[in-house]
Amino acid sequence: MSPDRSHLPADHPPVRFGKVGVLLVNLGTPDGTDYRSMRRYLEEFLTDRRVIEWSPLYWYPILYGIVLNKRPQKVGKAYEEIWNKELDESYLRTYTRNQAEKMAASFTDLPNVRVDWAMRYGQPSIRSKMDELQKDGCEKILVFPLYPHYAAATTATVNDEAFKALLKMRWQPALRTVPQYSDDPVYIEALANSIRNHLATLDWEPELVLTSYHGIPKSYFMKGDPYHCQCYKTTRLLRDALGWEKDRLMVTFQSRFGPEEWLQPYTDKTVEKLAQEGVKRIAIINPGFVSDCLETLEEIAGEAGEDFLHNGGEKFTHIPCLNDSDEGMRVLEHVVRRELQGWV
């Protein structure tokens, strides 16, 4: 239903209003795997004070003198291995766009809701998409950081950027942000079903399953970041949903960067240790990732699997993220409909 414009004077400038926007936001992606694209992406990512909390006086000489000279080439090669060559983009971009399009198609009962997507780092930017939503008549915008667990380095920086976008707007829309949903029953059941369905395709049974979450520096946890606790709660609830014993589903943390101690146990060290101790069959799932990306496809499905087999393991499988599957979309749509209450 179109908004009523009968109260506007005849000479009123054209204006759109009466819509509600939903903006799905994931971490980000480079535009390509070449050196310049990777350097541009990494610079934006690694200069975010939410991500690297060290003083710029200490960090920037390291970043610009070492990291941004060497790391773009290394990370670019890793991206090349898992690049969506058909669309010439990362799978994170593919899945995030698909999630937005599928959600928009499912909201047939909400004709005034417009769904779009953005990236915190890279393109399309949060600011550009919020501008588009506002110009399209969205007087209210729900920003959905696509992270089931809250961390300052992920959820908070998305919210920061969304509120910064308001600074440039004369007519600001009302803004809501989606909270973490690490213990939501719909999310837990979707994870449980993904494990059941994947294991049913195998002709072998894993001795245990690792729930591998992206790590954060231990110092962030000690400052009050709730991420660690939320990850453990998700795994506990998932274990209950599956009806498994405690030692069959364990928590690990991956993707550490730099010299600091990060949340432990580390995924890579755990995988090696399990194989060396005689465990022959394992599976890994990444509950904290809404979509498969470099950290799941290259680091876990690739490197972790190779490390396990190299150290004596015999069978390894990676359980895909929920992505834009029916189960995954059911979770995202459930969360959005809940958070839109009172607006639609």
0.85 exceeded by pTM:
yes
Fold of 185-319: Rossmann fold (3.40.50)
Average pLDDT over residues 250-262: 95
Average pLDDT over residues 75-92: 97
Bridge partners (DSSP) of residue 141 are 21, 175
Sequence-separated (6 or more) residues with CB below 8 Å from residue 142: 20, 21, 22, 23, 176, 177, 178, 336, 339, 340, 343
Average pLDDT over residues 115-119: 99
Residue 24's CB: how many other CB atoms inside 10 A?
24
- Are 323 and 287 spatial neighbours (Cβ–Cβ below 8 Å)? no
**Domain 19-181+328-339 and domain 185-319 have a common topology:** yes
Pick the CATH number of 19-181+328-339 from 3.40.50.720, 2.40.110.20, 3.40.50.1400, 3.40.50.300: 3.40.50.1400
For residue 53, what are its two tokens? 């909390």
224-244 pLDDT, tens digit each: 999 999 999 999 999 999 999
133-148 pLDDT, tens digit each: 999 999 999 999 999 9
57: helix, coil or strand?
A: helix
Q: Does the CA dihedral 294-299-301-302 come out positive or negative?
A: positive
Give the pLDDT of residue 258.
87
For the chain, the domains span 19-181+328-339, 185-319
Q: How far apart are the first and last CA of the chain?
A: 12
